[in-house]
Amino acid sequence: MSSKKTDNEKTTIVIVGGGIGGLALLNALSTNINPEKQTVVLVDARPTHMHLISSLRLVVSDADDLMNKAVHPYGDHTFRNKLSGNGTFIHGSVNSVKFGDSGNGGELILDNGEIVAYDILVLATGSSWPRPLGFPTDSRSAIEEHIMARRAEFSKAKDILLVGGGSLGLGIFCFWLSYLSRPHHRIF
């Protein structure tokens, strides 16, 4: 097992979670970091950033080409400004955290056995939603297949059973009603 912390002269900031919160912090760091003293590592279970709010519509319809707007690969645009060339993305899930002595950093153990050393750890893991928004984590193609399968299910559905009237259920209902509803469909 190898460690991703190779530069002992720099403080390594590791952000676990590439969702809205993790990327907001990454963007703030991109203008405030001192690249001579600090480096940033972003760890996320998915290989791409998923804009989960727009994914409600994404799984129901292909309207507005959301596949290309809501699913973004992590890349140069992720590490911009002062982070350009000074940031790393790691696709993986954290299995455990080893804390250092007296609060002096530690290590993450990823699902593939990789060790990621940190001086500062930020946990911004966000939410994990159930199907149809429970997107796979192994590849972009698996995510796209998941989206296409959910769209096919919604388009073939004659009846829809919604359990709960929270924001997710109502959001799915509204998008289904707007894009796919037919007069003979029933919603329970």
CB contact at 8 A, 161 and 188:
yes
Q: What is the mean pLDDT of residues 72-81?
A: 79
d(CA 77, CA 15): 16
CATH of the domain at 35: 3.50.50.100
Q: What is the mean pLDDT of residues 54-64?
A: 85
Its domain, for residue 167, covers: 11-181
CB contact at 8 A, 18 and 51:
no
CB contact at 8 A, 175 and 57:
yes
Hey, is 17 helix, strand or coil?
Answer: coil
Count how many domains the chain has: 1
Tens-digit pLDDT profile for residues 126-145: 887 777 888 998 899 999 99
Tell whether 165 is covered by a domain. Answer: yes
Tens-digit pLDDT profile for residues 103-131: 789 999 999 999 999 999 999 998 877 77
Residue 5 tokens read as 């912390």
CB contact at 8 A, 123 and 22:
no
Tell whether 158 is covered by a domain. Answer: yes
What pLDDT does 120 receive? Answer: 96
Tell whether 171 is covered by a domain. Answer: yes
87-91/71-73 β-pairing: unpaired
Tell whether 5 is covered by a domain. Answer: no
Tell whether 2 is covered by a domain. Answer: no
Residue 179 tokens read as 């894009």
